[in-house]
Amino acid sequence: MVMSSTIPRMFLEVCSRFSGKPEKIAYAKKSDGKWTTFSHDELRDEVECLALGLLQLGIVPGERIGIVSENRTEWAIADFAITALGAVDVPIFASLTPEQEAWIFHDCQIHSVIVSTELQLRKILQVREQIPSLNTIIIINQIDDVTLNEITSRYGVVNNPDARRLVIGFREVVNLGRMVSDKHARREKFQTMAERVRPEDLLTLIYTSGTTGHPKGVMLTHKNLTSNISAAVDAFDITDNDVFLSYLPMCHSYERMSGYYLAFYCGSTTYMVDSIESVAEYMHEVRPTIMTSVPRLFERIQARVLRAIEKDSALKRKIFQWSMDVGSKYYDQTRTREKAADALTNIQYRLADKLVFSKVRARTGGRLRFFISGGAALNFEVAKFLGVIGLKVLEGYGLTETSPVLSINRDGDEELGTVGKPLSNVEIKIASDGEILARGPNVMKGYWNMPEETANTIDRDGWMHTGDVGEFNERGNLKITDRKKNILITSGGKNIAPQPIEALLVQSPLVEQAVLLGDKREFCTALLVVDKEGANAWASAMSITFGSWEQLVQSEELHSAIDADVRRLQQGLSKYEKVRRFSLLAEPFTVENGMLTPTLKVRRNAVSKQYADLINEMYTTA
């Protein structure tokens, strides 16, 4: 197959390939205990009608349209419809606060927003006056007229049915498009619009965390995405017999390319799940063959297996440990050396697989060919644990700015601890200071309304400066060794700028300095240096006395007081940005003790090394 030059053309070509095959499922989403499925013909009809309905609302090429929704089939329908019009979609995480949504949508001068639920509708209405360009809000879930009037009235909106309405239902827009003309005429009109879209046209704006706290709008073109899809097809053997289980937010660039566009192009079936909590249940039910994921899922799989073993009898625990020892030996012999396992190890592994490993794999549905891991660095020990039990994880590397994949481990040529080799149409080189530079057709057009930031990121020769430090090993695989940028990436793939959050935390009169932690971890924690003057004043006011400064810092009373401040100060943050646990330090970070640079910036690596035990305790304490 020759890759299409734009997403709308890809959509038309794939739908044509499977036209007249109602048994072939493109997408499925579970609601109210039942799976709702779409064949390619059904999907195309919905997309065509929605696109023509959006056209009736005055949406034209180049307009920005927001999508605020959890994973569901309507997300895909909306995306395909918007991009076929030549408009630009701006998908964001449904977990963002109203203020964060307002900033993004004001920055890109949004025309309309598609929201999933009443909750998302209320969030937009709450800040709509901060988004003067907003014309229409389209809600996916049906709301009766009485409830809708109550909601809009509460936020000072008159939703007059006889005039242009601010809020309109998703199904109503689809029906609006369906009434434009008969099916044949609709199809011709849609195809004409879709074929006008050019490869260099802007496809999407994806906002990613910036070091200043304000997110940056990454401009990705149709060519950026289609080139990345094409290279991914070269790297993986994916067919129309494969089944994907998609749980990562589709607004995430990684899931959008791999678990959404790539799977669709290959004709695979995608079952959508709206949260990681549902994955275990649906894996057993759907029996996927391929899954894209972030490390957090793998950490959960390992933890679940180990917790189950702890509850077993002493004999079963002993069998499990023996199996893991044998499995580790077998894995090392067959994965890191150019030869097969020795005869004894091979026999022992077969027994271990029958007794233990096959039962673990059965919980994933028993058909899983491999996981694709991205979004954050994968812990070596977690990856090996899964490899030992026969669950293959292929780790890759990329950025939102590169659409997003740059390199990936191939099936049969994987190497733990690396992110594999560059994609076929991507160049990667290591700069003199160790920074990873990348160049290719997948590199973004630039940052929205940020020409200076774009110039600082992409040099005159087209090399994208990733901000990551790495090296190529003797096998030609890329290894990430450090990060130049002070952006934390959680194990769930969320990018977090630490400085703005740290600035919030030090607003407490009891906190002098703060360091946010959470890189490659499931959630955020913090090391807080107690402000000596503020804490002593607080203790005096509370008539609390202690024998030493260290005793005051470690007291439950001070911890509780600072906890109250932390909760209050981070109310406006998203859930994944909030500090769940913190530890108090009596000694400040200084240039003299090596924790600060001469320009008084925190040396994060030095702090992490100095307080490694304390940090680990925050992540292991129940």
What's the confidence (pLDDT) of residue 339? 66
In this predicted structure, the answer to whether residue 211 has a pLDDT above a threshold of 60 is: no
362 CB neighbour count, 10 Å cutoff: 11
In this predicted structure, the answer to whether residue 344 has a pLDDT above a threshold of 90 is: yes
430-455 pLDDT, tens digit each: 999 889 999 999 999 999 999 999 99
What's the confidence (pLDDT) of residue 314? 93
What's the confidence (pLDDT) of residue 289? 98
Q: What is the percentage of the chain residues whose pLDDT exceeds 90?
A: 71
pLDDT band, very low/low/confident/very high, at 421 (cuts 50, 70, 90): very high
Q: Are residues 189 and 252 in the same domain?
A: no
Q: Are residues 329 and 397 in the same domain?
A: yes
How many distinct structural domains can be found in the chain? 3
How many Å apart are CA 436 and CA 475, to the nearest integer? 17
What's the confidence (pLDDT) of residue 83? 97
> What's the whole-number mean pLDDT along residues 554-574?
94
Q: Are residues 512 and 475 in the same domain?
A: no
Residue 143 identity: I
Do 396 and 372 meet the contact criterion of CB atoms below 8 Å apart? yes
What's the confidence (pLDDT) of residue 337? 53
What does R_g of the chain's alpha carbons equal in angstroms? 26
The reply to whether 383 falls in a domain is: yes
Closest to 542 (Cα-Cα) out of 564, 566, 526: 564
Q: Are residues 186 and 235 in the same domain?
A: no
Query: What CATH number should be reported for the domain holding residue 599?
Result: 3.30.300.30
Q: 563 is in which domain, residue-wise?
A: 497-620
How many Å apart are CA 486 and CA 604, to the nearest integer? 9
Q: What is the percentage of the chain residues whose pLDDT exceeds 70?
A: 96
How many Å apart are CA 123 and CA 105, to the nearest integer? 13
Q: Are residues 527 and 471 in the same domain?
A: no
The reply to whether 211 falls in a domain is: no
What's the confidence (pLDDT) of residue 136? 96
Separation in Å, CA 404 to CA 143, 244, 306: 37, 19, 33
Do 419 and 408 meet the contact criterion of CB atoms below 8 Å apart? yes
In this predicted structure, the answer to whether residue 608 has a pLDDT above a threshold of 70 is: yes
Please provide the average confidence, as pLDDT, over all residues in the chain.
Answer: 92
Q: Please report where in the chains the tokens 């009434």 appear, as a residue.
A: 179
In this predicted structure, the answer to whether residue 252 has a pLDDT above a threshold of 80 is: yes
Do 572 and 95 meet the contact criterion of CB atoms below 8 Å apart? no
The reply to whether 459 falls in a domain is: no
Q: Are residues 276 and 148 in the same domain?
A: no
What's the confidence (pLDDT) of residue 528? 97
The reply to whether 538 falls in a domain is: yes
How many Å apart are CA 371 and CA 395, to the nearest integer? 8
How many Å apart are CA 470 and CA 187, to the nearest integer? 49
The reply to whether 449 falls in a domain is: no
The reply to whether 570 falls in a domain is: yes
In this predicted structure, the answer to whether residue 400 has a pLDDT above a threshold of 80 is: yes
Q: Are residues 360 and 502 in the same domain?
A: no
Residue 316, token pair as written in the block: 């079963």
Query: What CATH number should be reported for the domain holding residue 39?
Result: 3.40.50.12780
What's the confidence (pLDDT) of residue 356? 95
Do 232 and 260 meet the contact criterion of CB atoms below 8 Å apart? no
What's the confidence (pLDDT) of residue 164? 60
Q: Which of 163, 197, 231 is the last residue of a domain?
A: 197
Q: Are residues 517 and 394 in the same domain?
A: no
What's the confidence (pLDDT) of residue 498? 86
Segment 317-323 long-range contacts (CB within 8 Å, at least 24 positions apart): 319/355, 319/356, 320/356, 322/352, 323/352, 323/355, 323/356, 323/357
What is the distance of C-alpha 71 from the center of its chain? Answer: 12
Q: Which of 483, 511, 537 is the last residue of a domain?
A: 483
What's the confidence (pLDDT) of residue 557? 94
In this predicted structure, the answer to whether residue 53 has a pLDDT above a threshold of 90 is: yes
Do 145 and 117 meet the contact criterion of CB atoms below 8 Å apart? no
Separation in Å, CA 460 to CA 18, 72, 439, 455, 456: 43, 41, 11, 8, 10
Number of H helices, E strands in the chain: 24, 26
Q: Are residues 187 and 252 in the same domain?
A: no
What's the confidence (pLDDT) of residue 338? 60
Q: Which of 483, 516, 546 is the last residue of a domain?
A: 483
What's the confidence (pLDDT) of residue 159? 65
How many Å apart are CA 60 and CA 54, to the nearest integer? 9
| DSSP for 145-198, written as a single string | HHHHHHHHHHTT----TTS--SEEEHHHHHHHHHTSS-HHHHHHHHHHHHHH--
498-550 pLDDT, tens digit each: 878 988 898 898 999 999 999 889 899 999 999 998 899 899 989 998 889 99
Residue 407, token pair as written in the block: 């390199």
Q: Are residues 502 and 471 in the same domain?
A: no
Lowest mean pLDDT among 208-212, 303-307, 505-509, 518-522: 208-212
Do 106 and 64 meet the contact criterion of CB atoms below 8 Å apart? no
Pairing of strands 370-373, 464-472: unpaired
In this predicted structure, the answer to whether residue 318 has a pLDDT above a threshold of 90 is: yes
CA dihedral (219, 221, 227, 228) in degrees, to 10, reads: 30
In this predicted structure, the answer to whether residue 212 has a pLDDT above a threshold of 70 is: no
Q: Are residues 152 and 21 in the same domain?
A: yes
28 CB neighbour count, 10 Å cutoff: 17
Lowest mean pLDDT among 84-88, 330-334, 443-447: 330-334
Closest to 497 (Cα-Cα) out of 471, 470, 469, 467: 467
> What's the whole-number mean pLDDT along residues 411-423?
94
125-167 pLDDT, tens digit each: 999 999 999 999 999 999 988 888 888 888 887 666 554 679 9
184 — phi, psi (to 5°)? -65, -45
Q: Are residues 374 and 243 in the same domain?
A: yes
The reply to whether 12 falls in a domain is: yes
The reply to whether omega before 98 is within 30° of 0 (cis) is no
The reply to whether 206 falls in a domain is: no
pTM of the predicted model as reported, rounded to 2 decimal places: 0.85
| Cα 79-84-85 angle, rounded to 5 deg | 105
